[in-house]
Amino acid sequence: MTTDAHHQVLVVGGGSAGVSVAARLLRLGIRDVGVVEPSGTHYYQPLWTLVGGGRATAGASSRPQRSVLPKGVSWIRDRVESVDPEARTVGTADGSVIAYDRLVVCPGLQLDWNRVPGMAQAVTAPHTSSNYTYELAPKTWDLIRSMRSGTAVFTMPSGPIKCGGAPQKIAYLAADHWREQGVLKDIRVVLALPTPAMFGVPVFAGELERVAARYGIEVHRSSELVEVDPDGRTAVLVHHESGARESVRFDMMHLVPPQSAPDWLKGGPLAAPADPAGYVEIDRHTMRHVRHPEIFALGDAGSSPNSKTGAAVRRQAPVVARNVAASLAGAEPLPASYDGYSSCPITTSRHSVLLAEFDYGLRHRPTLPLVDTTRERRDLWYLKRYGLPFLYWHLMLRGRA
Ligand code: FAD
């Protein structure tokens, strides 16, 4: 087969994972790194929660893609649509065929708005929004600040999503704003979570129970949005265990769509044969594909069962870069291992954050010395608002942290 280009390492996706890993590969002395990324803009998605909560501007979450790609990387402004692991090539939307020696797959997750009847229409309707896109996050804040009474519904889908804490963070930011405005007593706040507990790690679940109770939030556990009527402003919630359906009429709703790996990965050679979610099937420690040793994955599109966050990507990127370099040098076994570390800074008010840090075993894994991160704290607010964005743009994307 004729190919249009060849790279020693080809990275699919120039998001948090792709840029971080490309920077690390260059630092390890690998000179020929190509990154396939269709978007001209790079986003720091964790800020979207604060945009929706009126605590940051959308513009602060975006930068030109060119400015974050490490110098020396070849940017292929295209979209990968297929992978042929036997031929060691990828096919792109423009019809190019690009060959690789090693492939790193990190195209993130796709938002499945159409999986819930009415959701795709609802999200563009006047009373509904979602922090899960750059365009809609400012609308969330518009809805929150114009609300004085009525019912506000916040939902979370089942299955892995980007930042499992984000669906409830925005509920607390909103409730705290309404408290400050003196209108919280006139607003019914409903938070529908698909899980029986408020968080997977018990020590944080307990603290979040207290936070929700402080605002008088009605938490519907094991409950999920199964239908929305945007015109009638009605959300239908189903209780997982009892099967009971409840219709809630809302005056505003924050939606989080179900998520999965991009469609082109589903059913393809990189996904596990029986996994409809389509994640790239990798070893959870080495991040190498279980059947194709020259392919690696990290970030949200990988099958490693960590919580899908940028914090996890920060720990995965050095592991993948070292293991790719080792495999190019013919070293076995691969030297670097990822332990499942992930973290989630949960905004519990407009001035406080609870920093949930944990690993594959959902064990609490604190990394800040002398700071009790099992309680919401004001100093952690500054970490979330200023410290982590600085870390991201200046250190993580440059392969320095
Ligand atoms: P992304 O950063 O999404 O990047 C994927 C890239 O691949 C994109 O640039 C995309 O254009 C590109 N791409 C897609 N398809 C293709 C293709 N076919 N070919 C080539 N390129 C392609 N994480 C935290 O750590 N803390 C938080 O507080 C936090 N809060 C969040 C709040 C919200 C509202 C959201 C949406 C996310 C949040 N996250 C948080 C999660 C974090 O943003 C993601 O986990 C992280 O961005 C994953 O990195 P990634 O590179 O795998 O995916």
Residues 231 and 180 in one domain: yes
Residue with the smallest CA separation from ligand 1 atom 3 is: 108
Strands 342-347 and 353-358: antiparallel
Ligand 1 and 15: CB distance under 6 A:
yes
End-to-end CA gap in the chain: 40
Cβ atoms < 10 Å from Cβ of 231: 10
Residues 81 and 92 in one domain: yes
As a whole number of angstroms, the distance between CA 132 and CA 271 comes to 25
Domain-embedded: residue 368 = no
Mutate to test the pocket of ligand 1, among 12, 16, 341 (most ligand atoms within 8 A of CB): 16
Q: Pseudo-torsion of CA 180, 185, 190, 196, nearest 10°?
A: 90
Domain-embedded: residue 388 = no
What pTM did the predictor assign? 0.97
Residues 273 and 212 in one domain: no
As a whole number of angstroms, the distance between CA 111 and CA 259 comes to 5
Strands 62-64 and 41-43: antiparallel
Q: What is the largest CA-CA distance in the chain?
A: 68
Write 2-6 long-range contacts (CB < 8 A, 24+).
2/97, 3/89, 3/97, 3/98, 3/99, 4/96, 4/97, 4/98, 5/34, 5/76, 5/96, 5/98, 5/99, 6/98, 6/99, 6/100
Q: Mark which of 258, 289, 322 sits at the end of a domain.
A: 258
Q: Is 106 a catalytic residue?
A: no
Q: What is the pLDDT along the chain (401 residues), one digit of tens a residue?
A: 678 899 999 999 999 999 999 999 999 999 999 999 999 999 999 999 999 999 999 999 999 999 999 999 999 999 999 999 999 999 999 999 999 999 999 999 999 999 999 999 999 999 999 999 999 999 999 999 999 999 999 999 999 999 999 999 999 999 999 999 999 999 999 999 999 999 999 999 999 999 999 999 999 999 999 999 999 999 999 999 999 999 999 999 999 999 999 999 999 999 998 888 899 999 999 999 999 999 999 999 999 999 999 999 999 999 999 999 999 999 999 999 999 999 999 999 999 999 999 999 888 989 888 888 889 999 999 999 999 999 999 999 999 99
Domain-embedded: residue 350 = no
Q: What is the DSSP string of 101-159?
A: EEEEE----EE-GGGSTTHHHHTTSTTEE-TTSTTTHHHHHHHHHH--SEEEEEE--SS
Q: Mark which of 221, 237, 258 sits at the end of a domain.
A: 258
Domain-embedded: residue 347 = no
Q: By residue range, what is the domain housing residue 287?
A: 5-109+261-341+393-398
What tokens were used for 293? 């040793």
Q: Could you give the number of structural domains in the chain? A: 2
As a whole number of angstroms, the distance between CA 192 and CA 195 comes to 9
Residues 118 and 234 in one domain: yes
How much is the pLDDT for 1?
62
CA angle 138, 61, 179 (to 5 degrees): 45
Domain-embedded: residue 385 = no
How much is the pLDDT for 175?
98
CA of 215 from ligand 1 middle (Å) equals 30
CB 235 within 8 A of CB 151: no
CA of 313 from ligand 1 middle (Å) equals 9
Ligand 1 and 106: CB distance under 6 A:
yes
Domain-embedded: residue 336 = yes
Rounded alpha-carbon distances, angstroms, from residue 81 to 36, 93, 159? 11, 6, 24
Domain-embedded: residue 243 = yes
As a whole number of angstroms, the distance between CA 116 and CA 122 comes to 10
Strands 62-64 and 74-76: unpaired
CB 253 within 8 A of CB 155: yes
Residue with the smallest CA separation from ligand 1 atom 28 is: 46
Active-site hit among 163, 189, 208, 261: 163
How much is the pLDDT for 274?
83
Ligand 1 and 37: CB distance under 6 A:
yes
Residues 181 and 77 in one domain: no
Residue with the smallest CA separation from ligand 1 atom 43 is: 45
Residues 288 and 334 in one domain: yes
How much is the pLDDT for 373?
85
Residues 70 and 35 in one domain: yes
Q: DSSP assignment, residue 304? A: -
Residues 141 and 247 in one domain: yes
How many residues would you count in the chain? 401
Domain-embedded: residue 383 = no
Q: DSSP assignment, residue 394? A: I
Residues 242 and 266 in one domain: no
What CATH number has the domain bearing residue 184? 3.50.50.60
Atom number of ligand 1 nearest to Cα 79: 19
Residue with the smallest CA separation from ligand 1 atom 11 is: 39
- In angstroms and rounded to an integer, the radius of gyration of the C-alpha atoms of the chain is 21
Residues 17 and 129 in one domain: no
Q: Is 344 a catalytic residue?
A: yes
As a whole number of angstroms, the distance between CA 6 and CA 101 comes to 8
Residues 311 and 254 in one domain: no
Atom number of ligand 1 nearest to Cα 65: 9
Ligand 1 and 311: CB distance under 6 A:
yes
Residues 281 and 228 in one domain: no
Q: Name the residue with tokens 């990798």.
A: 282
Q: Mark which of 228, 258, 288 sits at the end of a domain.
A: 258
Contacts of 108 (CB under 8 A, 6+ apart): 13, 15, 17, 162, 262, 299, 300, 301
Q: DSSP assignment, residue 388? A: H
Active-site hit among 25, 344, 346, 355: 344
E strands of 13-112, at which residues?
33-36, 41-43, 62-64, 74-76, 80-84, 89-92, 97-105, 110-111
SS3 assignment, position 5: strand
Q: DSSP assignment, residue 34? A: E
